[in-house]
A and B are shown apart, each in its own frame.
Chain A
Amino acid sequence: KAGVTQTPRYLIKTRGQQVTLSCSPISGHRSVSWYQQTPGQGLQFLFEYFSETQRNKGNFPGRFSGRQFSNSRSEMNVSTLELGDSALYLCASSLSSINTGELFFGEGSRLTVL
């Protein structure tokens, strides 16, 4: 059974640019959630999508957005990049609600903003 796949694994951008990250969930999983991980801050919840609808949203500015496609694949976009956006972005898929079920994480996309 294939796991959660995130692409690209590494990328470097400059301030002001935008970036799109992709996440392919485990087959059959309809929930996809995104997290930002930085040293010392743990995993910060960005948003969750379920059946193409954003179901929950964390406390991040509007520069962070996402979407989910009919095949459950999800993308997140960060516009007008800032230095502080440098982080590991993790995607997780699950069968049920994120606060009652097991999350299966991908290995992440490491974004560096220069």
Chain B
Amino acid sequence: QQPVQSPQAVILREGEDAVINCSSSKALYSVHWYRQKHGEAPIFLMILLKGGEQKGHDKISASFNEKKQQSSLYLTASQLSYSGTYFCGTGLTGGSQGNLIFGKGTKLSVKP
């Protein structure tokens, strides 16, 4: 039931783009994205709810393909500050009786 993230790790140069994928074998209601820097707490990036809506924040955006139960996180023109581990979390229901299950994470390293 744990979503599968790919790739497991990626190294970029500043200014390059990256895509991180999150796939589930279950029908999803929501997909959540968090970033965690080494030694720090995870920080919320965005939530995508059932409906295939694409969201964006600055140069980071995400899509949610309901039919494929997949979400992709797009990082455009990466900056050094983008380095960290990205986790996707999946929710199966919209009600209060639901878990949030996280993937194992994708480690992103941005080099100068």
On chain B, the residues within 8 Å of A101 by CB distance are: 47
Q: Is B112 an interface residue (CB 8 A)?
A: no
Residue in B30, B34, B105 whose CB lies within 8 Å of A100? B30
On chain A, the residues within 8 Å of B104 by CB distance are: 40-42
Given the interface pairs A105-B41, A107-B41, the reply to whether A99 lies near B100 with Cβ below 8 Å is yes
Q: Which residue of B lies closest to A33 (CB)?
A: B100
The interface-forming segment of A12-20, A50-58, A62-70, A76-84 is A50-58
Closest Cβ of chain A: how far from B87's Cβ, in Å?
A: 6
Tell me what chain B mostly uses at the interface: helix, strand, loop, or mixed. Answer: loop
The answer to whether A56 and B87 touch across the interface, beta carbons within 8 angstroms, is: no
On chain B, the residues within 8 Å of A45 by CB distance are: 99-102
Please count how many residues in chain A sit with their CB below 8 Å of the partner chain's CB atoms. Answer: 27
Sample of 29 A–B contacts (CB below 8 Å): A33-B100, A41-B104, A42-B103, A42-B105, A43-B42, A43-B87, A44-B102, A45-B100, A45-B101, A48-B99, A55-B96, A90-B41, A97-B96, A97-B98, A98-B91, A98-B99, A98-B100, A99-B91, A99-B92, A99-B98, A99-B100, A100-B30, A100-B47, A100-B49, A101-B47, A102-B47, A103-B42, A105-B34, A105-B43
- Starting from the known contacts A97-B94, A97-B96, A105-B42, 6 additional A-B residue pairs (CB-CB under 8 Å) come to A42-B87, A42-B105, A43-B87, A99-B100, A100-B30, A102-B47
